[in-house]
Amino acid sequence: MAEAKQLSGAGLRGQSAGETALCTVGQSGSGLTYRGYDIKALADQVEFEEVAYLLLYGKLPNVQELQDYKARLKSMRGLPAALKTVLEQIPANAHPMDVMRTGCSMLGNLETEADFGQQHQHIDRMLAVFPSIINYWYNFAHYGKRIETETDADSIGEHFLWTLHGKQPDPLHVKVMHASLILYAEHEFNASTFTARVCASTLSDIHSCITGAIGSLRGPLHGGANEAAMAMISQWQTPDEAEDAIMGMLARKDKIMGFGHAIYRDSDPRNAIIKAWSKQLSEQVGDTVLFPVSERVEAVMWREKKLFCNADFFHASAYHFMGIPTELFTPIFVCSRVSGWAAHVIEQRANNRIIRPSADYTGPDERPVPGLEDRD
């Protein structure tokens, strides 16, 4: 029994739950590849739409394929009237991840996947429309504005910024969004992806699979670390103040978000990439507080605990410098990771067997049912 409890408590870490051709995580300590391509090379050399195409269609697109793919996604950004009506009923104090979950589920009611031959059409639609969903709700709920969601933006990242702020975004910000969406696109059998695959294994529809994944990402132990990191670092005005506070948190054994990882042991390969972009953004806006504070926190955590920043930590400052509200940080994760989730659904469906593990029972031995009058 003790061994069974230990296994359960380990959260199945270190155990293989299946096969995938999509991604490697943590091989040789800190590697991350999508279909064999290193994450740094992808973030440096391609746009997010190319990575989404790679994950969903199995290859990097050529010039014509990328042009056609972008045009197809651009044509799919509009919101159905019924979906707008639903979004307008969601209160301003709702959790934005609940908005994403509800928006995806409602879309599935309006545009139901009738058979799996339609999966790519519905996946492309979700990629295109998710930024429209979250930013339509945000602008209506907080400012009473019904925004136009069919923008002329060339990319998903640009479309997100355009629909959020109501204007064509800074070219640097568009570049950062490409990198950010690429970094978040896929990460093997994490909790939300595994949720999507379990749902897919029952032969459920694509919207149910993605809705379930959003629900898993909503949990603070999976998504939301960038929001928590922003709430933490925004408290401090100098690096010295940050160091004193972090030392106090460590002494109290407080949870410090944005550090360490379930798989990586030495570093998160995504961190250096987004950190460099955060630094460039800080210089653009003339920041002298947030980025230095972030760097000091990073240094103290490594010095004291040998804990490294994961992908979420410097995403907090990067998003902030682009004027993105903190509560929308994790929905951006959804706008990216839907590509990875959907690719896993496709992969699960192609070689399916229902995912139904067993459990090690730890309750009492079999016993008789006492009469009502004999129960305590």
Residues with active-site annotation: 261, 312
Q: What is the biggest distance separating any 2 CA atoms in the chain, rounded to whole angstroms?
A: 77
* List of residues 6+ apart from 5 with CB closer than 8 A: 360, 362
In this structure, the chain runs to a length of 376
In the chain, where do the E strands start and end? 23-25, 32-34, 37-38
The conformation of residue 327, written as its DSSP 8-state character, comes to G
* List of residues 6+ apart from 65 with CB closer than 8 A: 53
Find out whether 210 and 342 touch, Cβ atoms under 8 Å.
yes
**45, 76, 271: which is closest to 159 by C-alpha?**
76
Phi, psi for residue 47 in degrees, rounded to 5 = -100, 165
Cα 357 to Cα 71: distance, rounded to the nearest angstrom: 42
Which pair of structure tokens corresponds to residue 25? 């995580």
Q: What angle do CA 353, 355, 356 make, to 5 degrees?
A: 120
Q: Look at residue 24 and give its three-state secondary structure.
A: strand
Gyration radius of the chain's alpha carbons: 22
Amino acid of residue 42: L
